[in-house]
Structure 1
Amino acid sequence: MSAAASAQAGAQFGVAGMGVMGAALALNIADHGFRVTAWDRHPERIDEMHQKHGHPELKGTASMEEFVSRLERPRRILLMVTAGAAVDQMLERLFPLLSPGDVIMDAGNSWFLDTRRREELCKSKGLHFLGVGVSGGEEGARHGPSIMPGGPTEAYALVRPVLEAIAARTDEGLCVTHVGPDGAGHFVKMVHNGIEYADMQLLAETYDVLRRGLGLSAEGVADLFAQWNQGIAESFLLETSIKVLRKKDAETGKPLVDLVLDKAGQKGTGKWTVQVALDLGVPVPSIASALDARNLSSMKDQRVAASHKLKGPSEALSSEEKAQLAAWAHDALYAARVVTYAQGMRLIQAASDEYKWNISLAEMARIWRGGCIIRAKLLTPLREAFTRQPELPNLLVSDAFAPVLEKLSPSWRKLVGAATKLGIPVPVFSSSLAYLDSYRSPELPQNLTQAQRDAFGAHTYQRRDKPDAGFVHSDWNS
């Protein structure tokens, strides 16, 4: 189509919200030949976009009315605004301007129950609503993210050509699929972010053990990570860690990471993951420990003061332990990652059962293989495990990972032991190992817990020698 004809034709796709992610997605869509119209409540962002990029297929609009009027029907509108009230406000502004059959997509990190509510609201007005998880950061959004859309199948069919065009690509296919109904896409994206919290914390703990246990510099840890990234531990986050560790501060010449204050922030998706896991009765200790680690990091002043009163151990590693520590850390990192992904997949499965979403865990592993933040080599055998056994109760007992965990767990235990000996906190390594040990234990000490509950609160218990007797109560004081 000529430039003149394109200028007169209606836009095929609309993006509302020209922040970092919105602008990157709009440009990505335009790069693939779709005519895009854009809007932002800050007009200067539209001007900046035109000046900086000047894309022939991307036109900004000054008003919401003009934005909607430029779109071909059925209109396809992607919202990239702050999660929460801003999404509801955008819907209220759009409703009077739209027609039955139009599609609205929320591509922010929205709470999945809000997405379910909004989907019902839009349905009542004859509109389609999709909750679209997008992972990959600015670079992914610009050149190929992992996309997790949830909502009506007929709505997905209307936007599928665009989403497939802009998604990341791997040898295993396009990194986009219809996740399931209503809030399924946003739920999966939330769990993705929860896994991301734990994976980042595992890398931070590994860095800390190597730094404090072996005295390695940032560059030395980067060199070791670079070796690991050639094997089974390969991942985007490991690659990112290497770049971060090698970056030098222009002013001092020191590793920039050494100048970064040890206080980590969060935007809420990790907290949501832990909250909903509690609601569904699914243990996710790796993710919860990573969340706690960020919260503890924020207590900087208290930690500094406590360090003067609470002295750690004075033991040192033996020469043999030092010689093996890096190898133990490598094995522990991979094994703990497997356990973290297992928890996330179990949570997705539980929610899928609860809300009747029929999510394919194999497909989630496939679309996470490229574009997204947690993309890693282990997702390929993970996908194969759920392809062979779709009803697998837990990734840990799959034929692909059970023998690997058995092989690597001795190193993992030694890594946790060495860290404990030195007083180096490894909360996610430790909680992940405890999860593995709990899951593989035919006997747990909760017989005492349940007996205690019955003793002080008459909460009853079941007898293992009389399984058909139901719940009984005993007088524990006589």
Structure 2
Amino acid sequence: MAKADIGVYGLGTMGSALALNMADKGFAVAVSNRETDWIAPFVSEAGALAARIIPSDSLEDFTNSLKTPRVILFMIPSGPPMDAMIDAIRPYLGDGDTIIDGGNADFNDTRRRSAALAGSGLHYVGMGVSGGEEGARNGPSMMVGGSAHSWEQLRPMVEAIAARFDGAPCVAHLGPDGAGHFVKTVHNGIEYADMQMIAETYGLMRDGMGWDAPRIGAVFTRWNDGPLDSFLTEITAKTLQSLDPATHQPVVDVIVDRAGQKGTGRWTVIEALKLGQSASAIEGAVAARAWSSEPEARNAVEVLYGKSTASLEIAEDIMEQALLAGRILSHAQGFAVLQAASEAFDWSLDPARIAEIWRAGCIIRSALLDDLASAFRTDPPLGQLILCEPIAARLSRTVPAMRQTVSAAISAGLPVPALSGALQYFDSLARARGTTNLIQAQRDFFGHHGFERTDSPGTHHADWHQG
């Protein structure tokens, strides 16, 4: 058999789907897996595509089955397993070979590994892959970071397997070292916020208005035909209207109220803070998942303080506009974090291109992203998305509804951490004179840190202990 165009190591859900996608597009794919008993069943289940798959039980055979320079995609757990894999496979690699980490890796690890391999003749790529199993099999959105050499090696294959929007592949080389993984991290942070704001809106209708899941699902179905058109809106409508065959209740009503998280949302918030940026909507979503993991505490607090039974009266179109405003603002926060990272790490990220490759294949794909890509192409004033005229006009129409929705929720005692975080972000930016003048005064009082004056330059101090 001829040698393979690319190797895929790791035949879990995502690795298997990507390998089949590549074979489906005409590429010869070498495959291997740490648990070697997974390999034969994978090849057997590949059907006709098995003719383009070269299985190997050992790393030596796996690497020998590849064309040189080699391109190897690892779909394995991030962190120490990836470091161990690099050490294990290096003896079998040569100059010009490219190692790709396709998992949800911490971009700091990606930068560290890229630096460690610099000058060795090997190239290291951090590639974010979004779209879940279906996307990986039929067309994901991919965010690539690494050298120009590795991109040229990888480009024909990833462009062939990527999702498409108006015929254009949803994949791009975004910058060196950790750029791709950082963009994927922020993508996931925005995903956290979007999911949480949808869940909060569902909670308002369920707990504040007394609506059942199928009725709420019908609302999301209608919303998906308008400006909220997105993958997450679509699947929300479907999940809320799905019935459990065992109980004949809505499936969502028999699911435990506890959400897991794998770390990318938390990483987004941590890196935003390091970069001096606000990610309040994303932080609200991360916090909500953390609180959900404490059911005993939540039950005890409800018993002690009582559960609010206040009812809400919010028009459907008001909630729709509120959710749209929240979605715009969470994206604005995410892109601000990306811009700050681009400057800090000298990546030259292109926000318009990032928005474009998110328009299909990925979890946060939505009609909004096409508008954001167009807005970024106009070079936003001060780099602020919310200052672009089309986006500003939309926020001017929708923020009042968001304010009404959040106010009503707070008055009724219903939690909206992500929606309120997004609103506070907007309100803080929308007030030219805030209150940090007092904070400057406080810091000078207890720490002699100094302050700036409005009427003269330089650092000043006050004698706070006089009179």
Matched, 1:476 2:461: no
Specify which of 391, 400, 408 is matched with residue 390 of structure 2.
400
Residue 121 (structure 1) shift:
2.1
Measure, in 2, the Cα distance between the counterparts of 1:187 and 1:131.
Answer: 9
Indicate if the aligned counterparts of 1:174 and 1:367 stay in contact, CA closer than 8 A: yes
Residue 446 (structure 1) shift:
1.0
> 5 Å matches for 1:196-211?
196-211=191-206
Q: What is the match of residue 146 of structure 2?
A: 151
> 5 Å matches for 1:16-415?
16-54=9-47, 55-171=50-166, 173-313=168-308, 315-317=310-312, 322=313, 324-389=314-379, 392-415=382-405
Q: Work out the number of aligned pairs and report it.
A: 464
Indicate if the aligned counterparts of 2:244 and 2:251 stay in contact, CA closer than 8 A: yes
Deviation by residue 1:54-77 (Cα, 9 ceiling, x = unmatched): 321112211111100000111110
Measure, in 2, the Cα distance between the counterparts of 1:143 and 1:346.
Answer: 31
Q: What is the match of residue 4 of structure 1?
A: none
> What TM-score comes out, normalization by structure 1 length?
0.95
Residue 136 (structure 1) shift:
0.3
Measure, in 2, the Cα distance between the counterparts of 1:177 and 1:37.
Answer: 24
Residue 388 of structure 2 aligns to which amino acid in structure 1?
Answer: S
Residue 172 (structure 1) shift:
6.2
Q: What is the match of residue 422 of structure 1?
A: 412
Indicate if the aligned counterparts of 2:104 and 2:185 stay in contact, CA closer than 8 A: yes
Measure, in 1, the Cα distance between the counterparts of 2:20 and 2:277.
Answer: 40
Q: What is the match of residue 5 of structure 1?
A: none
Measure, in 2, the Cα distance between the counterparts of 1:434 and 1:450.
Answer: 21
Measure, in 2, the Cα distance between the counterparts of 1:228 and 1:205.
Answer: 15
Indicate if the aligned counterparts of 2:209 and 2:311 stay in contact, CA closer than 8 A: no
Residue 313 (structure 1) shift:
4.8
Q: SS at the partner of 2:305?
A: coil
Indicate if the aligned counterparts of 1:210 and 1:326 stay in contact, CA closer than 8 A: no
Matched, 1:456 2:446: yes
Mark the CA change 1:400 to 1:240 in structure 2 (over 3 Å): closer, same or farther: same
Residue 40 of structure 2 aligns to which amino acid in structure 1?
Answer: D
Residue 236 (structure 1) shift:
0.6
What are structure 1's unaligned runs of at least 5 residues? 1-7
Indicate if the aligned counterparts of 2:54 and 2:65 stay in contact, CA closer than 8 A: no
Residue 250 (structure 1) shift:
1.6
Matched, 1:444 2:434: yes
Higher mean C-alpha deviation, range 51-60 or range 423-432? 51-60
Indicate if the aligned counterparts of 1:101 and 1:128 stay in contact, CA closer than 8 A: yes
Indicate if the aligned counterparts of 2:127 and 2:143 stay in contact, CA closer than 8 A: yes
Measure, in 2, the Cα distance between the counterparts of 1:313 and 1:76.
Answer: 58
Residue 175 (structure 1) shift:
0.1
What are structure 2's unaligned runs of at least 5 residues? none
Residue 244 (structure 1) shift:
1.3
Measure, in 2, the Cα distance between the counterparts of 1:272 and 1:250.
Answer: 38
Residue 378 of structure 1 aligns to which amino acid in structure 2?
Answer: L
Indicate if the aligned counterparts of 2:381 and 2:387 stay in contact, CA closer than 8 A: no
Measure, in 2, the Cα distance between the counterparts of 1:241 and 1:316.
Answer: 23
Indicate if the aligned counterparts of 2:380 and 2:387 stay in contact, CA closer than 8 A: no
Deviation by residue 1:340-365 (Cα, 9 ceiling, x = unmatched): 00000011011111111111000000
Residue 352 of structure 2 aligns to which amino acid in structure 1?
Answer: A
